[in-house]
Structure 1
Amino acid sequence: MERNVRIGQRSKDSFARARLVFPDGTSRVTIERDPFPFYIERGIGSHLFDIDGRRFLDLNCNFTTLIHGHAFLPVVEALTNQLQFGSCFASPTEREIELAELLGARIPQVDRVRFVNTGTEAVLFAIKAARAFTGRSKIAKLEGAYHGAYDWGEVSLAATPDNWGDPTAPKSTAFYRGMPTSVLDEVVVLRFNDAEGVRRLLSWHANELAAVVLDPMPSRGGLIAPKPEFISAVQETACDNGILVIADEVLNLRQSFRGASARYGLFPDLVTMGKIVGGGLPIGAIGGREDVMKVFDASAGRPLLPQGGTFSANPLSMTAGLVAMRHLDHGAFAHLEMLGNIVRDGIDRAISSRRAPLCVTGAASLFRVHPMAQTPNDYREAHPATAGATLMKQLTRFFAENGIFLPLGAAACISTPMARADAEFIVDVFAGFLDRHQSMLDAITEHT
């Protein structure tokens, strides 16, 4: 079964060169290395090929962005045509209108849209929009949830048992050395799926809170399904206290034709989007209620919230996003759901038949394996012990050796070019991992 046992020499040599120009040899902290990254030559459909000729089924898809896989022909053709007419302008193009119309027609609660360049910017401006609309400055967010590289969104992103504090009132923790303490004071940290805690903490800080930022199924928080009572607690308490609900669907918009909020019964005031809506190019978008989005309105002079960006709504991203989203019809989502179910159900059966101390979470085209027998309810419960974290590294390594690029500690994803055989292959490799590492699994069982 194993095909990719050793990382190639060209990747090793490239990493040696990279260490001379980048602080740690990479340009993103999320680059995985074991002990070196593998450098990519090309991607075709659902597969990656590295510079040493190794082939991988890609379950990362640039962190869930490439829902149609690599080099999706309709996008390639549309971009090739657009490049002949120009790559960016200071004036608008019709493509941005068309993509905004598509998003507004498809995603509930999206009356108006504003385009930016990244998911980080989308969350950044959604928070600023909530502040401008309400006149309040604080936000609430989920412990362990990722909302991009924005100070307020990064609070308690990497909380640990050593610093996350009281289970009924989580502590605001800094993500990096030097994060201003004033930022920590302006963020109320909530626990996912803690309905009682949400009602209490949002009510307690109501007069100061502009918004609660909520990823309906936080990837970094465990890719755990939200409980209906938790969604209701957020929705009702926010509404009762004039707090806006920001649904961060930068990653989870791929959960259904209408997104994740619609899937779980959340009715946000603002929605942040990115990843799949750019067709493989950089993009971010803020959508929401017409009255809230009016803070961006500059038709009568300086708006309550000025927002610009040299490459915002550039025609390349608009073109790629429009084509990609048009191809994400109901049939495409049904295909993704079917494959996701095969993978999750197959992994769950492999775990059960071997009584392995593992579980799988996720929905639609997303899944994540956890080194624990009981399905976690939130970030704290999903936080792995040392032995579990080591096991997950071994899982990622085993998958790579068998020709699958599986993300470490993040959501794995299905793309539309994948077939039933690919889903079954994923399950077979996972079962092979369990059989190969039985002694390590037994050791985890003994300590739980």
Structure 2
Amino acid sequence: MVAGSNTAGSSVGQKSKDSFARARLVFPDGTSRVTIERDPEPLYIDRGLGSYLFDVDGRRFLDLNCNFTTLIHGHAFAPVVEALTHQLQRGSCFANATESEIELAELLCGRIPQVHRVRFVNTGTEAVLFAIKAARAFTGRSKIAKLEGAYHGAYDWGEVSMAATPDNWGDATAPNSTAFYRGMPASVLDEVVVLRFNDVEGVRRLLSLHAHELAAVVLDPMPSRGGLIAPKPEFIAAVQETARKNGILVIADEILNLRQSFQGASARYGLVPDLVTMGKIIGGGLPIGAIGGREDVMTVFDASAGRPLLPQGGTFSANPLSMTAGLTFMRHLDHAALAHLEILGNIVRDGIGRAISARDAPLCVTGAASLFRIHPRAQTPNDYREIYPTPAGATLMKQLTRFFAENGIILPHGAAASISTPMTRADAELIVDVFAGFLDSDQDMLHKIEVRT
């Protein structure tokens, strides 16, 4: 145990174990989402408050998952609770339009460059789905290009090569399109061109080669599942220039990374997209997704003169609860809040980096703003292939997650960890202390990691 520990012995208590036994009787594997982590049982949460979670056994955890980076203001954010209470008394959903959807759309259009018009949906998956469809409707082309290892939700074309492995990802200069699940249609694989992140020459060559068929290139400016690696300026420029030259739309998937600055991740890294997909933080903790973009591209949704080029509906799209929570959340995500997050993120990343250097440990840390990710390799990676762990590395990361949980911190396994506005400098320093404690606790495992360069 390290200073600040508030749990003991195991990351999962008895009540969580009992709940999992019940869940296995009603869910195929005992959980309702493949993203639920288990060690070997999942942790069951009773409530959240601020930057902390409390499990059913009454133990407190500093939450670095924040529901996959969604809760940038933490749990039970008082302004959202108040706004939702008021809205619930007025109704939860209607078949008609509401003024709340206009207000959130006005905020996004006024804040995010290149977002001139908006359509709301219910999830990030839907946002990417409709952005790709919009690109197809606008260009008349069917293929897309995407990054190897990047996550874009549960849409067949977005899932291609999301889980590529050394056994199937193919040549470095021309990555294979690989299936994400058994039975994925071969036709889907044929309609996706796979790019490597930060491969400047590769992206120019592959986009140009398939230009006459490509509707869009889908690009997360800093893919979380792809390593949370900073994009090279020349890579962003190559994507932008090649796409513009060939009439290919650029879709920036900012569902996770919109939190990187007041105007989002594209603005931070110099990308000027045609379409932007948004979600997570813009819903204030409720389900949401949004497609925004250039006015001319967004006209594919226009039904004012009859059937649009791309019909899009949804029973719960733009429901007033999500609109109200999102508007409240985003209004409080001002420049001061983002500066606070940036400071804490720097403390964590710099502290982890110093702990690694002081012990000459074969690990590194990536990320930006309020996000960070730890990798079991000595040198900073450039793309998904370089973050793919060795067996010893994968084991080490599981042990790291367990060590954090045993010391009162929920650290996502193999994903982006996120800072929330209720966190303090003391919280950030605790994260660094726990990480350093882990390095000191398992020198034998550290020496087993294959050093990858």
What TM-score range do you get, normalising by the shorter chain?
over 0.9
| Post-superposition offset of 1:445 | 5.6
Write the letter of the residue equivalent to 1:339: L
Closer, same or farther in 2 for the Cα pair 1:387/1:288, shift >3 Å? same
Residues 4, 400 of structure 1: 8 Å contact kept: no
Aligned to 1:279: 284
| Post-superposition offset of 1:444 | 1.8
Provide the C-alpha distance between the structure 2 equivalents of 1:366 and 1:141, rounded to a whole number of angstroms. Answer: 22
Write the letter of the residue equivalent to 1:427: V
Aligned to 1:5: 9
Closer, same or farther in 2 for the Cα pair 1:137/1:429, shift >3 Å? same
Cα RMSD (Å): 0.8
Matches within 5 A, 1:322-337: 322-337=327-342
Percent identity of equivalent pairs: 85
Provide the C-alpha distance between the structure 2 equivalents of 1:250 and 1:323, rounded to a whole number of angstroms. Answer: 18
Stretches of 4+ aligned residues off by more than 4 angstroms: 445-448
Q: Where does the alignment leave 5 or more consecutive residues of structure 1 unmatched?
A: none
Q: 1:123 aligns with which of 128, 142, 153?
A: 128
| Post-superposition offset of 1:54 | 1.1
Closer, same or farther in 2 for the Cα pair 1:204/1:331, shift >3 Å? same
Write the letter of the residue equivalent to 1:203: S
Residues 278, 324 of structure 1: 8 Å contact kept: yes
Residues 377, 452 of structure 2: 8 Å contact kept: no
Provide the C-alpha distance between the structure 1 equivalents of 2:15 and 2:289, rounded to a whole number of angstroms. Answer: 34
Matches within 5 A, 1:146-165: 146-165=151-170
Residues 245, 268 of structure 1: 8 Å contact kept: yes
| Post-superposition offset of 1:4 | 3.5
Matches within 5 A, 1:282-301: 282-301=287-306
Residues 337, 365 of structure 1: 8 Å contact kept: yes
Whether 1:77 and 2:82 are equivalent positions in the alignment is: yes
Whether 1:213 and 2:218 are equivalent positions in the alignment is: yes
Q: Secondary structure at the match of 1:418?
A: coil
Provide the C-alpha distance between the structure 2 equivalents of 1:169 and 1:446, rounded to a whole number of angstroms. Answer: 26
Aligned to 2:198: 193
Provide the C-alpha distance between the structure 1 equivalents of 2:112 and 2:14, rounded to a whole number of angstroms. Answer: 47
| Post-superposition offset of 1:439 | 1.2
Provide the C-alpha distance between the structure 2 equivalents of 1:447 and 1:259, rounded to a whole number of angstroms. Answer: 32
Matches within 5 A, 1:292-441: 292-441=297-446
Matches within 5 A, 1:24-35: 24-35=29-40
Q: TM-score, normalised by structure 2?
A: 0.98
Residues 393, 450 of structure 2: 8 Å contact kept: no
Residues 4, 54 of structure 1: 8 Å contact kept: no
Provide the C-alpha distance between the structure 1 equivalents of 2:184 and 2:448, rounded to a whole number of angstroms. Answer: 39
Q: TM-score, normalised by structure 1?
A: 0.99
Aligned to 2:25: 20
Whether 1:250 and 2:241 are equivalent positions in the alignment is: no
Q: Where does the alignment leave 5 or more consecutive residues of structure 2 unmatched?
A: none
Count how many residue pairs are aligned between Structure 1 and Structure 2.
Answer: 448
| Post-superposition offset of 1:8 | 1.2
Provide the C-alpha distance between the structure 2 equivalents of 1:447 and 1:79, rounded to a whole number of angstroms. Answer: 49
Write the letter of the residue equivalent to 1:171: N
| Post-superposition offset of 1:415 | 0.2
| Post-superposition offset of 1:9 | 1.1
| Post-superposition offset of 1:407 | 0.1
Matches within 5 A, 1:89-128: 89-128=94-133
Write the letter of the residue equivalent to 1:401: E
